[in-house]
């Protein structure tokens, strides 16, 4: 083969390898985005369940207070899992703000206990959290979007004190 033919073969092969690498990169990126959206959905679900549980406990005179604490623990677990998977520093910072905000409502040492009894201040704090969750859209009565931009707006609205 002539030298020009070898150059053509190498260029064609290089083109195919670059196309393959680009497609693989896009595939990996999309998989990572889907993982993040799934983790966002877990946080949404847990916060919406917490909101519904607090409402239910208020309506039933706080008969099963431990359930509220358990739902908060579930939400904290989802937040921590999302933080652990995040690679973007700005997103991680916002998720830590959410974590720190929610941690203010943890009762006791943070371990699950069936025999938890809330005092009036803790009930009032949970009522405040319920109102914040509801007003910022963390409820099953509204649709939700796991896209980061929409998700981040709702996070900021929740953690911002008014």
pLDDT band for position 47 (50/70/90)? Answer: very high
Question: For position 141, what pLDDT does the model report?
Answer: 76
Give percent above pLDDT 70 in the chain.
Answer: 95
Long-range CB contacts (within 8 A, 24+) of 94-102? 94/152, 94/155, 94/156, 95/155, 97/155, 97/159, 98/43, 98/155, 98/158, 98/159, 101/158, 101/159, 102/72, 102/75, 102/76
61-92: b (≥16 Cβ within 10 Å) or e: ebeebbbbbbbbbbbbebbeebbeebeeeebe
- Asked whether residue 55 carries a pLDDT value surpassing 60, the answer given is yes
- Asked whether residue 110 carries a pLDDT value surpassing 70, the answer given is no
């Amino acid at each position: 083969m002539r030298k020009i033919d070898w150059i053509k073969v190498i260029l064609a092969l290089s083109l195919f390898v670059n196309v393959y690498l680009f497609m693989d990169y896009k595939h990996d990126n999309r998989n990572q985005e889907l993982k993040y959206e799934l983790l966002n959905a877990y946080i949404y679900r847990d916060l919406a369940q917490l909101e519904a549980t607090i409402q239910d406990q208020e309506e039933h005179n706080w008969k099963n207070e431990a359930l509220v604490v358990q739902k908060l623990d579930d939400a904290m677990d989802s937040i921590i899992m999302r933080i652990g998977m995040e690679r973007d520093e700005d997103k991680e910072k916002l998720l830590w703000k959410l974590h720190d905000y929610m941690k203010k409502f943890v009762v006791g040492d943070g371990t699950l206990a069936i025999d938890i009894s809330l005092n009036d201040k803790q009930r009032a704090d949970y009522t405040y959290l319920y109102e914040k969750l509801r007003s910022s859209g963390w409820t099953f009565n509204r649709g939700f979007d796991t896209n980061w931009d929409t998700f981040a707006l709702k996070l900021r609205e929740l953690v911002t004190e008014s």
